[in-house]
Structure 1
Amino acid sequence: MGAVDLLGGGLDSLLGGDIGGSPAMGVGLGGAPVGMAAGLGGAPAVGGGLGDLFDLGGGVGMATGAYVPPKAVWLPAMKAKGLEISGTFARRGGAIHMDVSLNNKAMSVMTDFAIQFNKNSFGLAPAAPLQVLTPLSPNQTVEVSLPLSTNGPVMKMEPLNNLQVAVKNNIDVFYFSCQYPISMLFVEDGRMDRQLFLATWKDIPSDSEAQFQIKDCHLSADAVCNKLQGSNVFTVARRTADAQELLYLSVKLTNGIWVLTELRVQSANPNHTMSVRCRAPEVSQYVCQSFELILRN
């Protein structure tokens, strides 16, 4: 399907003026609009035509829960003198958690646990010590939920969502890498105003737009909205065109980067086209990966 700018053309007139010719409007890394185009921020609420075209109705119900990946083995026992570490990431109550299982497959008791992260793309860092309150006996497993902050040192990783971790106990220090879904970084105040969305979409150069296919997704447009909203992907607007639902979605990351998405959902076709515009285009593919994981689980 060709990359048709469905937000362009006719919508300009509905907003009263050509947004494309307005002064450039950006969103700073802190999330605040920068140099907003005249007549957008202070314009009265647009009713009538735009409200009908950008219909937020459609019977969208309560959002489902946030996506949590299944636990994976991050550190096999054979590489850590009998300590096996499995884990996943979850976003609960507006905070990121690393949920880990520590399994002692050695013959001796393990104590004095501690954890440290290397610099990473989004500044993830432990917000508290690794709390293993009792010695870990042979063949014992303990579950720990480690709260994370995003105030740590930042260094761009490859891949972008890679996390390098060191875990210490009374036996040795062990190292492993794991990857977190970018959806853990989707914040709760990521719903962008409709007019700001429209202006920002047009202000981001079209040549930085990335297109992806989400395949084998047998969900209605309403179900897609519900599932995504559970993980802080917000439906700014939606409309129907050519037997497909066009969903306009906004996401804000913990570092203030906005990601704008158009998702085309066809009831007769389980393959959906996703167009992404973002001022940090390297984020786009990871956002698409998160959308796929959320919608398939």
Structure 2
Amino acid sequence: MRFVTFRTQDGERPGAVLSGPDAGADSDRILDLSDIASRVEDLLADGALLAQARTAAETADATALPSLGSVRLAGPVTPGKILCLGYNYRGHVPDGVDPRADDPEWPDVFVKTPNTLGGPSDAVPIPPGATDVDYEGELAVVIGRRAQRVPIEDALDHVGGYTILNDVSDRAWQRRQSQWALGKCSDGFAPLGPWVVTPDEVPDPQNLLVEVVRDGVVTVSQSTSTTIFSVAFVIHHLSQVLTLEPGDVVSTGTPQKLPAAQEAHRPLAGGDAVTVRISRIGELTTTFSSAREAAA
């Protein structure tokens, strides 16, 4: 299932995205689930509520539902914590070279603060004076069941679903310090969504294609099979130190840009748009606005 949070005059509500009668994403419909739960996090954490939501989706008449495009989406969940990984994809190496030779022993973990969270339709403001804002398309894991010191073999049982995060980064601020917080935590720098896909739709998180498209050109294309640390290991590892709660988001790192994209690097500016697409999950398109546009 695909769960979203959508905005109404009365506040945010959870919903399920159903395929419409016609082919194509434009025919997707939205089913209001606010009579079952108040938040998507509650659906992911409670098996009984999740079963009710599935029944409601299976019995709904999609033709009578509003189109997904008629509502404005917020981030699908509101995480208490957003935990991110730095270098987690192996790069391309010459033939005969062990691609694991430079693997770090442990994941490089950093946080993004609550002010960074944005919905899939929210423009990301470029901060005043920013000179090198960049994008990072990532598979993000939404915790569904409380995880505290879980063994690796049980770690995936704590996953509520998968979504997409664009780990927007200000490289200039990032280079100014050994800790990355000020380069990662500008307002709106974590657009999330558009939905959470339940694990039954993603049987193997280590077999997904992550791609990023900018200006109509694919700049990133790599499988999650090339990650250094698997989703299961990352959940296990993080839970040894802190307790992961339902709704928390763990973003699993970004692949390297393709060589041509690295050579043609251009900082993001107002008016730019970047699409992150991940097989079995969907795509998240983020638009960027200048500081002047954001203030208007």
Calculate the TM-score normalised by the size of structure 1.
0.27
- Higher fraction of helix: 2
Q: Which has the larger radius of gyration?
A: 1
Between 1 and 2, higher relative CO (CA 8 Å, sep ≥ 6) is seen in 2
Calculate the TM-score normalised by the size of structure 2.
0.27
